[in-house]
A and B are shown apart, each in its own frame.
Chain A
Amino acid sequence: MNTQTKTDLPHKAAIEVAGVNKWYGAFQVLKGIDLTVNKGERIVICGPSGSGKSTLIRCMNRLEVHQEGSIIVNGIELTNQLKRIDRVRSDVGMVFQHFNLFPHLTVLENCTVAQRWVRKLPKKQATEIAMKYLERVHIPEKADKYPGQLSGGQQQRVAIARALCMNPSIMLFDEPTSALDPEMVKEVLDTMISLAADGMTMVCVTHEMNFAREVASEVVFMDGGQIIERNKPDILFSAPTHERTRRFLGKLLH
């Protein structure tokens, strides 16, 4: 095992983003982002659409590639080395706005496929782990259904279970409730709140300010590719220091 790529030392920071710049062609989408997420912290990133918040979270498991700066996840720097990236990804769960469940596989298979191919676990063990997490998100009875037969809220809970099956140390949520009907938002948020209560390190891009108030250790406000301010939720919501934050929150709360 390469000692350069693996650190067994207790690393306080789960994710360290330092001086990250990213461009789409000529358009700079991330401008000098510095952000440290410590183990056990729950960071909520909010901001207007186009502010770069989704891009930032997608850089954290290298679904997007940053051009400048460094991103270190659990002590492993994200570079072009595919082996490293796959290792980071198998330890960082991600939940997407549009679920991205595999429609040709059953709910159970969605939860076992990566365990079997990436973790090389035998079928029986993978199934046991999958059922454990499907119970945790309260839908073990849907194990043999296909994603297309489930409601949006149920699909998103399966997506959370699928990520948890890999026993990740960090969970990334990219607008997990934005594609859901209003009545299904709560069941997904409840699942996320229970994860937070268990001490999971979480980074969430979301507009759910009540969720942020309840579980976030800190809220990060982004605009125009920059982090404008970062603070504890009660302080950021009641007394934002920047005009742009105030305007954004004003629009969101009214």
Chain B
Amino acid sequence: MFQLDLFLHAIFSAPLFKGALLTIGLSVCVMAVSLVLGMGLGSMAGSPRPAVRWLVTLYVWLFRGAPALLVLLFVWNGLPQISEIFRAGWFTPFVAAFLALSLIQIAYLAEILRSAFAAVGPGQREGAAALGMHRWQIFLVITMPQALRIAVPALMNEFISLLKTTSLATVISLKELMTVSQFAIATSFRFLEWYGAALVYYLVIVSVLTLAQNRIEHVLSRGYR
């Protein structure tokens, strides 16, 4: 039967807490890098040069098509086979997971941001250009904030989805939330309590993210109410 005291012990145990921190840390790192690079890729999708647009399309096609599990295993096991560099000590499961998940996340965010940039409309760029603003100033101050506002709900969806996808990194023995739970279960055989505890962590993190989303949307929609 379900033992409440064991469940509580699991929730407040150090390994699970550390695992959760690792899950959050990995997700935040992947999301931050993917946001910046996805934004670059997303704005390149509107490039006047066909070769650039074609490259973006190719990248998105590849990394939206490849399953996360496959990319994880490819990066962790495949890259060391390709080059000496990936056999060194710095290539930890965390780095591999970060690399693999970023590759995928960039593709998804590029698509979201591409449509968000397109939705801002040419009038905004023209209005700013007519004032003598440079291209990067227009991007930074005029287009990007408006595109982000449009993209926030979809971006948060992707962040939440990413947070849970990090659990796949258990296959490359990254000690994130799910791996830690499996370890505990392997010695205790208490499935309900440990899975339950892990679930609580995921739900708490996602709840915090949802609250953050409301807050961000509120701030970015000033002027649209």
A interface residue numbers (CB < 8 A to B): 61, 63, 82, 86-94, 96, 98-106, 113-114, 117-118, 146-149, 159, 162-163, 166
Contact = CB atoms under 8 A, between A and B. Distances in A.
B124 interface: yes
Interface in B65-117: none
Contacts of B223: 103-106, 146-149
A114 B131 contact: yes
B141 A117 contact: yes
Contacts of B141: 113, 117
Interface of B: 123-124, 126-135, 137, 141-142, 145-146, 149, 220, 222-225
Q: Which 4 A-B pairs have the closest CB atoms?
A: A90-B132, A100-B127, A146-B223, A114-B131
B222 A146 contact: yes
Contacts of B133: 86, 113-114, 117-118
B129 A63 contact: yes
25 contacts: A63-B129, A82-B135, A86-B133, A89-B131, A93-B130, A96-B123, A96-B130, A100-B123, A100-B130, A101-B127, A102-B124, A102-B127, A102-B128, A104-B145, A104-B222, A113-B131, A114-B131, A118-B133, A118-B137, A148-B225, A149-B223, A162-B131, A163-B130, A166-B131, A166-B132
Given A90-B131, A118-B131, A104 B137 contact: no
B123 A163 contact: no
A98 B123 contact: yes
Contacts of A162: 131
A148 B223 CA distance: 6
A114 B134 contact: no
Nearest to A172: B130
Contact of A87 (B132, B220, B222): B132
A92 B220 CA distance: 31
Given A86-B133, A117-B137, 16 more contacts: A63-B126, A86-B132, A89-B130, A89-B131, A90-B131, A96-B123, A96-B127, A98-B123, A104-B149, A104-B224, A105-B223, A113-B131, A113-B142, A117-B134, A146-B222, A159-B127
B149 to A, nearest CB: 7
Contacts of B137: 117-118
Most buried by B among A82, A91, A93, A113: A113
B130 to A, nearest CB: 4
